[in-house]
Structures are given as C-alpha cells and as structure tokens.
Chain A
Amino acid sequence: MEYDVGTDQWVLNMGPQHPATHGVLRLTLRTDGEVVTECVAHVGYLHRSAEKIGENLTPRQFIPFTDRLDYLAGMNMNLGLTLAVEKLAGYAPSEKTRHLRVLAVELCRIASHLVAACSTGLDLGSFTPFMWSFREREKIQLLFEELCGARLTYSYITPGGVTADAPEGWLERCEAFLDQFEPVIDELHAVLTSNGIFVHRMAGVGVLSAADAVAHGCSGPVLRGSGVAWDLRRHGEPIYRSMYDDYRFEVVAPVNGCYPQDHDYPPVPPQAVVGDSWHRFYVRMLEVVQSIGLVRQAIKKYRQASGTVDAPWQVKQKLPPGEAYLETEAPKGQMGFYLVSDGSAVPWRLRIRSSSFCNLSVVEKLCRGVMLADVAAIVASLDIVLGEIDR
C-alpha cells in the first residue's frame, strides 16, 4: 500500500500493561497515523530465572516451575522436562503410563488452543466466543483437578511416571466431556472462523512465508499455518515420537493450500493467504479436533493396557552423567529442555528453548506497514505466552 499523505511519526508504547499484549509484552510502535511503520518487541518483564532455579533443584523439584513456563499448558511443559530427564537416564515408562500421559497432554492442548483461538476473538473485539471457550476449558480444568488436584499448575507428569493414576470413573467423565464438547467447536466456527468480519480482519493480515517461518525458528501452529507440515509428534526424536507410535492423527497444515480432508469444518475463505493470521487460527481450531481423537484413542488404549501406572522417582534420584536435549511439541510450538548432569541429583546445567520466543521474533517483520488494529490480530494469532518467553 502507498500513502501519499504523510503525517508526523509517533512512537506508541504498547504495553507492558496493555489488553492486547497477552501478559507483559511491550511493543514499541512507530506509527504514521493508523499505519504502523515499525514494531519492536521488548521481552523480559516476566523473567523469573527459571533456568537458574533448575540448576539448584532436582528435576522432580523443578517440575512445578515448568508448570509456570507456559501456564496455559502445564501438562505439556511437565512432559518436556520429564522426557528430557528420561532420555538422559535411558528410561522408558510402562504402556499404561504412556497412554495416561498422552491423554493428559492432549487434553491440555485442547485447553491451550481454546484460550489461543478465543483470545484472538477477544483481541478482535468479539467477547462472546471467549466466554464460551472458557466455559469448556473450565470443564477440562475440573477433570485435571480430579486427576492431580490442581487446576492450572499440575506437576502431574514427572520423571519416572505420573503422580497419580486416573481415579475411578474419570475416563468416563473425560468421554462425556468430549461428547458434549465436539458440537461446541461448530459454534465457535460459527462465531469466529466463518464470520465475515473475522475473516476480513484475519485473512491476508500478517502473512508469514514458509521460508521466513523456518528462518526465524517458528514452530507449532505458527509454522504449520505457513504450510509446513512439521509436527514433532510425527517428526520428533524417537523417545518422543514413540509416545504416539500407535496413534492415528493428522498433522494439520495447509500443504499446497489444502488441509487434511477428514473434516467438515468451514472452508478456507478466498481472501485467506497461506501463512496469514486466519490460517494460524484455523490450524489451532483443527488441531483441537485432532487432539479430541487422540484423547479418545488414549482412553481406549489405557483401558486395554495391562500392568500399572509408574510412580515418580525419588526426589533425590541421581542422574547419570552426560547431557540430553529433547524438543517436544507443546501447543505453542517446539519446547526444548537441555540438561547437563555431572552425576548428582541436581542438573549441572539446564536450559530451555522457548517456542513462543521464536514465534514472537517474527512480529517485527509482520507488523510493518499494517494498521494499528492488525497488530492486535497478529500478536493474538502468534499465540505467545510470556511466562515461557522470559523463563
């Protein structure tokens, strides 16, 4: 777009306390009227030294801190550290534990994507889908509360196993939830995905090419929204990939502009370009459906599996000397944990690779030349969680 009328440029400070920045992100925008000419993201307002704390605690003790990284997907964070530690120790949990972990993680992915998709609606001024999705998320939280006693910071998946087996009748309640939740997705599609105003606000806005997405290290729905069918549940390291070995699911990405064919959700609008905000949003909505399928499979497999659920290791269990790095597919993208052990119970070094951090790095590129209101849409479609970025 070209504008022949130029006005004085302004620096607008968006955040760290601003409704659209999802926590404490600070964006400095240089604006020419309503048009943003430059956008700089400042992070670090939520830095809590998680990595340093991890070097002073045993992995078992550090698990509650991982809950607070991506606080919308505590289960997935637990799993990331747990699998990294188990990779270092060369440990494989029982079948029953594996299925219970998949169940918890995928349920948590649904909860996280619900918040992501519908806070996008909130940032576009649509309040109602946000309440609808929180109503559903609440039910997931109640299920988790029953499972592990916590609603947000689960600390459920720990090195060695999980803290508790599924309580009596819990699996049935999970199934009942999924049964009533599936029609709600259609409602959300009605008020968001196929809504004319929503499409106008999201389609063609913040187009991230596949090459750029890869170059910036984007992952998760941000990468897949750009048309790269890359999902660590399929393409990750064996220790992580094998968790999903016997599960059926699609990697949701608009490869060559087409989504997997096994869904009957609203079609892609003509204005949408692969890699724009609308596709990032849509990928999340379709992934919710995939996760529902995974949870259903996990319930079935858990019932069929023999044996018991593994209990966590001792708090002071010693780690074998060596190092291990493992990335897992968290709802926001690839979450990596790096451990170096000198043979004691406490890791000598611990580093975390944040998915949102890389996903946020494209914001400066995407927010150049867009309208002020698009900044909110783009940031929302990137789905960042500051707890994870600042660590």
Chain B
Amino acid sequence: MSDRIASLLPESWSGAAWAATALIHVALVLCFVLISVAFFVWLERKVSARIQDRLGPTRVGGRFGWLQSPADGLKLLCKEDIIPAAADRVLFRLAPYLCFCPAFAAFAAIPLAEGWVVLRLDIAALFVLAVAGMEVFGVILAGYASGSKYSLFGAMREAAQVVSYEAPLALCLVIPVMLAGSMDLTTIAQAQAGWFTQWFLFHNPFSFAAFWVFIVCATANTNRAPFDLPEAESELVAGFMTEYSGFRWTVFFMAEYTSMLAVCLIASIAFLGGWNGPIPWTGWLGLSHSVHPLLGFVGDCVGFVNVTAKAFGGVIFIMALRWTLPRLRIDQVMAMCWKYCVPLAAVMLMGATLWLYVFPGGVIRGVGGQWSPSPAVATSWTNGGERE
C-alpha cells in the first residue's frame, strides 16, 4: 500500500513520503485496532448476556447500548490512578505499555486485505509470533512491580503458560507456511485464492486438525478462558492486574483484546483464506487492480470485510468459550500444552509434510474450482523453498 501512496507524491519527497505513509499507516491500523477493541468490549457483554439469559447493555446509546464502550472508557479515565506503596514506581507505570505495544506492533505485518499491510515482511509469520510473544514481559513486569503476592502469582503463571503455548502455536503455523511455501502472510493468503476449498483449512486432514489446535493454543496464548489463569479472579483476585486501576488497567485490558484480534487475524489469514471469500465473486465481477484502480480498491474493501469477518467470528468463538467453560488448573494447563498440544501439533506437521510429498497438487484442493498454484507457490516449489 505504501507504494501506492508514494506514487501519488513527487519523486523528491521520497523521505517525507516514507514518513507520511508510515504515519498514515500507523494511524489507520491504530484506528482499526482501537475501534475493534471498543467493539469487542461491547460484543463481549452482549455475547455473555446472550449466553447467560440477560440483556446486556441497553441504556447507553439506544436499544443495543452501542455507546457502552465509550462510557466504560470514560469511567475508567475518571478513576483514580493508584500506585501501591510497595510498588516499583517506574516499572509499575511502564508495564501496561510494554504489554500493549507488542500486541499492537504485531499488526504491522498483518495484511488486512491484499496489499493492505504496513510492512510486507518476508518473515511476517515469524515476526508476528515473536512480537506478540513479547507481551509476556509486560505482564511479568506488572506482577513483579506491583509488590503484591497475587500479582506475582499471576505473572509467574502467565510466564509459564505463554512460553509453553508458543511452541504448539508456532508448530501449527508452520503448516500453512509450508503449504504456501512462504512466511509472508500476504503470500500465504494469495495461495488460498479461489473457492473456499482452496483454504488451507481444507487442504488436508492434518491442516484441518491443526487449525483447531491453533485456536486452542491461541486462546491459551491470549489468556482467555478456559486458560485465563493469570487473571483468575476466584483465586488470584485479578492476577497481575490486581493493583492496577483506571487507565493503566484499561491498557492491559486493551492489550488482551488486541492480541485476541491479532491471533484471530492470523488464523483467518493462515487457515481461512484471508481476504478470499468462500466464493470468488469479486474475480467474476472484475474487482481487481488490473482492471481499474477504483475497482481494485472496491475489491480490497471486500477483502478487508472478509478478513475482518473471519477474525471476528474467531473472536466470538473465543468469547463463547469463555462464557461456557470453567477454568483449568495451572498444572492441567501445562499438561495440556506439553502432553497434548505439542505432540498433536507435531503429528499434524509431520502428517501435512507427508501429505504434501504424496499429493503435491493436493487432493481436496481444486474440487470447487480449477486448481492452479499461485505464482508464489509455484516459484517457491521450483526454487526449493526460496522466494523470488
């Protein structure tokens, strides 16, 4: 996308253009993330209310309580910002931002539609996992700096849990990377163009299973129930957030929802075809940049809706899980990771590798539409895994 914006500006402005486009990108992504988070806060209330036979917000902003999130935000902003006497003041203040920034930084490499990405990285999949994993520093710091035993318990749990679940999460993500022959999330999504049968979810039985393992690990990695041990309210009061209040607490809260959105976006790109809808109708209508830039933009908008809809579907699924299941115990969480998720993910990876070796063209793929490997895939296979 930066190329397109840069092309609108004169040559001599290249430095300024770079800065300007970077700023515009960050602003756009920040808007997307913050609006999504605000929407999730409202959505979580509505989803939980639906499950619990309640109404949820109905007062602020009309019948459906649309303005509940701004009202919540305003309330939290007005709250007193307390730093406990036993806290390490500097680290205590730093921690929420260390938590939110990595979650947000992951969006730099996540494409929201074809070409709608801040930084198109060759190693986007790795970058996203690595950066999102840094969130744990903020949590540990919060737990340590709070000077409270409950906070420290929460932080230690988070450290153990997140570090463990990164292994199966990465193993699952290797499968789409392997199928597409690239770590670039844009290429991965491009490789799934066409009918929904082209999605990596339906590529082979192993990738189908790997998707569900990925969802489980993503839930654990974002500390959502049934893996919300770091903030287990019935044992640890609020875990690492116990001593936080007001805006700092809000930042932690936003970080949680942001990382939830990030993993759901990755799942939707890596397994659910990204911006490719179930039916390739945009292609039939000629909504592509090769026909006309404006039509291409419309097509990108449709793609953006596709990506977001899939990711939001994932978010709703994770929310429904939270309001249905009890919480696991820490030893059970660790056992689940190392005894079930890691071996399962490894088996799925091996299975997918074998499948790719036996059926290079795919078996289920190509049922709904004509099968042709995307250029990136084709080159990567012929080049022995290297991108052009």
Contacts and interface: CB of A to CB of B under 8 A. Distances in A.
Closest 3 CB pairs of A and B: A125-B327, A131-B52, A126-B326
A32 to B, nearest CB: 12
B233 interface: yes
Interface stretch (A60-68, A139-147, A367-375): A367-375
A50 B258 CA distance: 52
B328 A197 contact: yes
24 contacts: A12-B150, A20-B234, A33-B156, A124-B327, A125-B225, A125-B228, A125-B234, A126-B324, A131-B54, A132-B52, A197-B325, A197-B327, A197-B328, A200-B328, A200-B332, A201-B326, A201-B327, A201-B328, A371-B331, A372-B153, A372-B330, A373-B327, A376-B234, A376-B235
A122 B234 contact: yes
B39 interface: no
Interface in B94-151: 149-150
Interface string A110-145: 000000000001111111100110010000000000
A127 B330 contact: no
A125 B326 contact: yes
B226 interface: yes
Interface string A178-217: 0000000000000110010110110000000000000000
Nearest to A1: B331
A132 B50 CA distance: 11
A12 B328 contact: no
B235 A20 contact: yes
Contacts of A122: 234
B326 A373 contact: no
Contacts of B51: 128
Interface in A195-250: 195, 197-198, 200-201
Most chain A beta-carbon contacts within 10 A, residue among B228, B232, B234:
B234
A269 to B, nearest CB: 14
Q: What class of interface size applies to chain B in its complex with A? A: 20 to 34
Contacts of B331: 34, 371
B253 interface: no
Contacts of B225: 125
Contacts of B329: 200-201, 371, 373-374
A12 B149 contact: yes
Contacts of A173: none
Q: What class of interface size applies to chain A in its complex with B? A: 20 to 34
Interface string B316-352: 0000000111111111100000000000000000000
Contacts of A121: 326
Contacts of A322: none
A192 B326 CA distance: 8
A273 B330 CA distance: 21
A371 B229 CA distance: 13
A118 to B, nearest CB: 11
B53 A132 contact: yes
Given A195-B325, A371-B330, A373-B327, 9 more contacts: A10-B149, A12-B150, A125-B232, A126-B326, A132-B52, A197-B328, A201-B326, A372-B236, A372-B330
A132 B323 CA distance: 12
A131 B233 CA distance: 17
Most chain B beta-carbon contacts within 10 A, residue among A34, A132, A135, A191:
A34
A370 to B, nearest CB: 10
A197 B329 CA distance: 9
B237 interface: yes
A48 interface: no
A83 to B, nearest CB: 36
A175 to B, nearest CB: 22
A122 B225 CA distance: 13
A373 B237 contact: no
Contacts of B379: none
A139 B312 CA distance: 36
Interface of B: 48, 51-54, 149-150, 153, 156-157, 225-226, 228-229, 232-237, 323-332
Nearest to A35: B331
Contacts of B234: 19-20, 122-125, 376
A138 to B, nearest CB: 11
B237 A126 contact: no
Nearest to B53: A135
B375 to A, nearest CB: 46
A18 interface: yes
Contacts of B332: 200-201
A191 B324 contact: yes
Nearest to B54: A131
A314 B122 CA distance: 88
A373 B325 contact: no
Nearest to A200: B332
B317 to A, nearest CB: 16
A124 B323 CA distance: 12
Most chain A beta-carbon contacts within 10 A, residue among B326, B327, B331:
B326
A193 B237 CA distance: 25
A360 B226 CA distance: 28
Interface string A355-374: 00000000000000001111
A351 B174 CA distance: 69
Contacts of A123: 234
Contacts of B323: 127-128
Contacts of A33: 156
A192 B332 CA distance: 18
A190 to B, nearest CB: 10
Contact of B52 (A10, A20, A127): A127
Interface in A334-391: 371-376
Given A10-B149, A125-B226, A375 B235 contact: yes
A18 B52 contact: no
Contacts of B157: 34
A138 B237 CA distance: 27
Nearest to A13: B149
A198 B226 CA distance: 11
A135 B157 CA distance: 34
B53 A372 contact: no
A124 B329 CA distance: 9
A354 B44 CA distance: 41
A294 B90 CA distance: 63
Contacts of A127: 48, 52, 323
B330 A195 contact: no
A135 B49 CA distance: 13
A91 B348 CA distance: 75
Given A131-B52, A131-B53, A19 B330 contact: no
A339 to B, nearest CB: 39
B325 A126 contact: yes
A290 to B, nearest CB: 26
A374 B235 CA distance: 9
Contacts of A372: 153, 235-236, 330
A335 B51 CA distance: 37
B326 A195 contact: yes
Most chain B beta-carbon contacts within 10 A, residue among A125, A192, A200:
A125
